[in-house]
Amino acid sequence: MVPQSFADGLSSAQSSVVASQDILDAEKAGLVDVKYIPNDSRSAQIVIDNKSDQPLTLRLPKAFVGVPVLAQFGGGGIGGGMGGGGMGGGMGGGGGGQAAGGGGMGGGMGGGMGGGMGGGMGGMGGGMFSVPPEKTKVVKVATVCLEYGKREPSPRIPYRLAALESFSDDPALAALLDSFGRGEIPFKVAQAAAWNISSGLSWQKLAAEVIDRPGGVPDQRYFTQAELFAARQVVGVVQKQVNGMQKNAHRRSSGER
């Protein structure tokens, strides 16, 4: 079953009690240097160097991607977000792969591959974190693969952090990654839903995915039936939510004429 918090979270906006700046805007303004270091398609570290002489309160986008810097490596993207299973880290001093993505809001201590805040000295509620002047922060994020069939991301090849819109303008994918980032969806469920939305894999194809076992050991299904059932529900909720928002926007636009 899909957690009630998932459906509720899609229609609720979290407000920030502390003024914060989007990390990509801060990078563009020259206030910070940002490095995106994927561990694999399931997790990554975002290293933020505060170049200014003032403390900065930053936030990740609600949904973001990690993409290879050099196109010739043929890698894909990774998506992720801040929040449930996505944020954390503490004070700290790229082979081509898929694109990976994740969501951005969240709070509380957590960890693990599923998303949310994890690690020592995690960020503030609402997906924010503070970086002291001229110091470095390492934020740990949980991610999902967005490009089925491409090579696994690797820390040996440089990646960069980017807004999801630079990779995909699909609002359903944005809503999925946002909710995954808040920790409302388990990793395997989010991964199946992401491949269905972003890579167009059918549920039959996803059900046939197996983990190869060497030495004559029987292969193992990558997704359980329960995980695929939940993923189908998640995609249905996301698409219904997006359709509702688009209809409301159309009504408002028509009423203004």
**Three-class SS of residue 94?**
coil
Domain layout of the chain by residue ranges: 4-256
In total, the chain counts a number of residues equal to 257
Radius of gyration of the chain (CA): 18
Do 91 and 69 meet the contact criterion of CB atoms below 8 Å apart? no
**Three-class SS of residue 8?**
helix
State the pLDDT at residue 31.
Answer: 97
pLDDT tens by residue, 27-40: 999 999 999 999 99
Give the least confident one: 57-66, 96-105, 117-126, 149-158: 117-126
pLDDT cut 90: percent of the chain above it = 53
Residue with tokens 């890698």: 75
Between residues 252 and 162, which one has the greater pLDDT?
162
Residue with tokens 């995106």: 36
